[in-house]
Homo-oligomer: A and B are copies of this chain.
Amino acid sequence: MKDAAQAGRPRPPLLLNNIGTLLTLQGGRDPRRGRELGNLNVIANAAVLCRDGKIATAGPEREVLKHAKELGADPEIESFDCKRGTVMPGFVDSHTHPVFAAPRLLDFEKRIQGASYQQIAETGGGIRSSVESVRSASEVDLAQGVLAAFRHMQSSGTTTAEAKSGYGLTTEAELKSLRAIRQAAGEWPGTVVSTLLGAHVVPPEFAEKPHEYVKLVCEQMIPRVASDKLADFVDVFCERGAFTLPQTELIFDAAREHGLGVRAHVCQFSPQELSRLKRFSPASFDHLDCLSDQDLKSLAQQDTVATLLPGASYFLAHSYPPARRLIEAGAAVALATDYNPGTSPTTSMPMILSMACTQMKMTPAESISAATINGAHALRLGGSKGSIEAGKDADLALFAVSDYRELCYWFGGNSCSAVVLNGILMKN
Contacts and interface: CB of A to CB of B under 8 A. Distances in A.
Interface of A: 103, 105, 108-109, 111-114, 152, 156, 311, 314-317, 345-348, 350-352, 357-359, 361-364, 403, 405-406, 408-414
Contact of A103 (B357, B358, B409): B409
A319 to B, nearest CB: 12
B414 A105 contact: no
A348 to B, nearest CB: 3
Contacts of A358: 111-112, 314-317
Given A317-B358, A411-B315, A412-B412, A406 B103 contact: yes
Contact of A345 (B108, B109, B348, B411): B411
B412 A109 contact: no
Given A105-B406, A406-B105, A112 B357 contact: yes
A205 to B, nearest CB: 29
Given A317-B358, A358-B315, A358-B317, A363 B109 contact: yes
Contact of A351 (B113, B352, B408, B411): B411
A346 B410 contact: yes
A405 B108 contact: yes
Given A314-B358, A315-B358, A410 B345 contact: yes
10 contacts: A105-B405, A105-B406, A109-B364, A111-B358, A112-B361, A112-B362, A346-B410, A351-B411, A351-B412, A413-B414
A109 B314 contact: no
Nearest to A107: B409
A413 B362 contact: no
Given A108-B405, A109-B405, A411-B412, 10 more contacts: A103-B410, A108-B409, A111-B358, A114-B361, A311-B412, A314-B359, A345-B409, A346-B410, A347-B413, A413-B414
A105 B351 contact: no
Contacts of A345: 409-411
Contacts of A347: 412-413
B315 A346 contact: no
A363 B345 CA distance: 17
A413 B348 contact: yes
A363 B110 CA distance: 10
A316 B347 CA distance: 23
B413 A152 contact: yes
Nearest to A341: B409
Q: Which 4 A-B pairs have the closest CB atoms?
A: A351-B412, A348-B412, A346-B412, A105-B405
Contacts of A114: 361
Contacts of A311: 411-412
Contacts of A414: 413-414
Contacts of A352: 412
A361 B412 CA distance: 19
A352 B413 CA distance: 12
Contacts of A317: 358-359
Nearest to A347: B413
Contacts of A111: 358
A405 to B, nearest CB: 5
Nearest to A314: B358
A363 B112 CA distance: 7
